[in-house]
Every structure is written in C-alpha cells, then in structure tokens.
Homo-oligomer: A and B are copies of this chain.
Amino acid sequence: MFNKFMLEVGREGSVIRELNDFGRQRAKLLGKDSVFDFSIGDPSVPAPSKVQKTLVALAEYPDSVSIHGYTSAQGLGEAREAISRGIQKRFDFSMPPELIYLTCGASAALAISINALCESGDEFILCAPYFTEYPVYVKAAGGVPISVPFAQNFDIDLDSLEAAITPRTKAVIVNSPNNPSGKIYSEALLKKLSSLLMKKGEQLGLQIYIISDEPYRELAYDGATVPYIPAYYENTIVCYSYSKTLSLPGERIGYVAVSPKAHLCEELFYAIQGAGRALGYVCAPAIFQRIVAKCEDETPDLAAYAENRELMYDGLISAGFDCVPPEGAFYLFIKAPDGDSKGLSLRARELGLLIVPGDDFAAAGYCRVAYCVDKDRILRSLPLFKQLRESY
C-alpha cells in the first residue's frame, strides 16, 4: 500500500520521543520540578548575541523581498565565502566556496551526501557508537549500513573496520566529537584510519570516502583540539551544522563541503546538488544563510557547557557510575551497572531522570546523558543519580 520502509521508520517510536512523552506526563502529574530531561541534544545556551542582533536587523530590513527570496540551490555566495574563510582560519585548510553546498542542517547534509554516493547495495561503514539516524539514511538511499564495534574508550576499532571493508564499501561515516560518547578521535587515530582506507582502496581498486559528521566540532573542552579530517584524508565530505555552535537547532542550517582533494570532487559536487534537488531541498532557509554569512566565526558559551560537564561527570563518578570522561560535544555515556541499558533508563525515569539507552546508538550497556541543560537542574539531579546507582 505505502512504502514499507518509510512506514516502518515512521511508526517506530523513537526512544527519545517516548521518553519525552513520559516526561511530559510526569510533569503534568507531579510538577515540572519532578522531571530532569537529559534525553535531547538541544543547546541550553542562547544563540550568541551577534546572531540575535543580526537576526533582528534582518527581520527589520525594509526590503523583505530581497531578504526572503529564493537563493540559489547551492546557497548565497557570501555565506559560502564566510564558511571557506572560517575553515581556512581555523584549520589552515583551503575549502573553496564552489564546493560548499548549504543545507537544512547536518541531517539534510548527511542524507544528501549518502544519496549522492550510494548506488543500490553499496555499503556504508558506521563506527559505533553512532547517531541513531545514520542507518535510516543509508537504507533509504538503497545502501547497506555496516556497523563496526568500538575499541576501548569509544575509539574506532581499526581492526574491525578493516575486516568490514569489502568491494562494495562506499564510505565510512565518522563523527568526532562523538554523539553519544563525547569522544574526540585523536590525530594519531585519524592518520591510521587514513592509511588504512588508502591501503584498502588501492588493494580493492576502490575510492572509499569519509563522510565527516561535525555538528559538535566547536564543542571541545580542556583545550582539546578537534583534528580536521580533510587535512588527513583526501576523499572527505564534511557535513556541518550550526545547530549547536550558534544554538539554532530548530532553524535548520548547515552545509556539505567536498574536499577539493577528493577524487572527482567536481563530479561528486554535481551528485550532491542532484541529491539535494531530488530529495526536495530547494535552498537552505535564506535568513539563516545570511546569519551564517555574518556570524560564521561566532562561538557558543563553551564555559557553561564545560562547567556542566564537570559537575555532571564528577557527580556521576562520585555516585559510583562508570564513565569515560568526555572530551567534546555535550554528552556523557555511562555504563549500566548490570549491563542492561534499557533497564537503567527505565529505573532512571522512575526517579524523573530521562536518559537514553545506548542500544540505538549501537552501544548496548550504556546510557547517554545530555548535559546541555541548566546548571541548576544538574545540581538538583545529582542526589537522584546517587539514588539510582544505589538501587543496584
């Protein structure tokens, strides 16, 4: 009757949505203070003030027609130039504006990139733990998601990855800083990954691409740096979002950038444009393209996230939880004391703590705690986490 896959994907209650429904009902019954929602990566710090000022100026601009009109499908030149300048400045890497394509956020960027690359049956390697939507995008494009388990401390397990490469391998999706683990892949690891993909590509006569999903790129703590993957591997497609950096998650603005060093980069860029068009993306929201043009170099209030991270990490550790200290993003990934992550999430929600079991992130046995919330909420939640741990 309808498309079976779409029906299934639409029906399957997202665990996060279910948790949110539970939270809403609990808040109705017991009051707002009885719910501590750590389930969603919705930034808790306001948009940088320059973003807010620019938005007001754009909204007030008298010539509404020129502000809100269609842009080219690729996006405004001024936005693409600002992005290119930002990449040059931050990473000393030359990403030409001609190979940048503005999108409705990183999810659109991922779906578009995957559709641009994928012929039916192509394999996409996903490095656990990974964002729940990757396999959905890959399957929708007619591809096959291949899950590779993680190594110690949520690093990429290169041996498993090597074993997963076949003549049908099209790309590896890499996400650093990582959602859900908070891991930043080191330069050493990325160099090894790059050598491995080049070696295997040569052996198999393949071009293997890295799709680098980087929405958390600017969220790194304790002076950690996030290596820029195109500097280490030529066949790289960057998927970026301003959702977290500029605290605009609902406004859907991000981009795809194809490395100028990638094999047949111009042809690949045509395929990206084709996929954007064929999936119904006409252009990224125009007013937020203009925001990017003016505010690309703004950064979020990292200090607030850093403080949250410390409070949450220390609190969870002293409550007795096992947890790798996160280096970036705004997630902590804690171990279920008995290995049952769904059980931990269920126990937690009885106390009003909403945390997401790692099963859908291909990391059963762990739960994700999003600490992008008010500091006060974190402080008040810690005794409950203690109680939760003591229930084991």
Contact = CB atoms under 8 A, between A and B. Distances in A.
Interface of A: 1-11, 17, 40, 42-47, 51-52, 55-56, 58-60, 63-65, 68-72, 104-105, 107-112, 115-119, 133, 136-137, 139-141, 207, 247-252, 264, 267-289
16 contacts: A3-B274, A3-B275, A6-B274, A7-B116, A51-B64, A56-B56, A56-B60, A64-B247, A70-B249, A104-B104, A115-B140, A133-B277, A136-B277, A140-B279, A250-B286, A251-B286
Contact of A2 (B105, B116, B284): B116
Nearest to A206: B1
Contacts of A273: 10
Given A3-B119, A4-B119, A105-B280, 15 more contacts: A2-B264, A3-B274, A9-B274, A9-B278, A10-B269, A46-B65, A56-B60, A65-B247, A69-B250, A70-B250, A115-B140, A133-B277, A251-B285, A251-B286, A285-B288
Which applies to chain A's interface (DSSP): helix, strand, loop or mixed? helix
B280 A111 contact: yes
A140 B278 CA distance: 6
Nearest to A246: B68
The quantity of this chain's copies bound in the complex is 2
A252 to B, nearest CB: 5
A239 to B, nearest CB: 10
A59 B70 CA distance: 21
Nearest to A111: B280
B6 A278 contact: yes
A1 B264 contact: yes
Given A2-B116, A105-B282, A280-B111, A267 B68 contact: no
A56 to B, nearest CB: 4
A328 to B, nearest CB: 20
Q: A-B pairs with the 3 shortest C-beta distances?
A: A10-B274, A111-B280, A250-B286
A280 B2 contact: no
A236 to B, nearest CB: 15
A219 to B, nearest CB: 16
A55 to B, nearest CB: 4
A112 B108 CA distance: 13
Contact of A279 (B72, B111, B285): B111
Contacts of A285: 104, 250-252, 285, 288
Contacts of A137: 278, 280
A112 B9 CA distance: 13
Contacts of A112: 280
Contacts of A247: 64-65, 68
A10 B278 CA distance: 9
A299 to B, nearest CB: 15
Given A6-B271, A274-B5, A107 B282 contact: yes
A59 B65 contact: no
Nearest to A103: B280
Nearest to A263: B1
A72 B13 CA distance: 13
Contact of A104 (B46, B51, B136, B281): B281
B70 A44 contact: no
A271 B68 contact: no
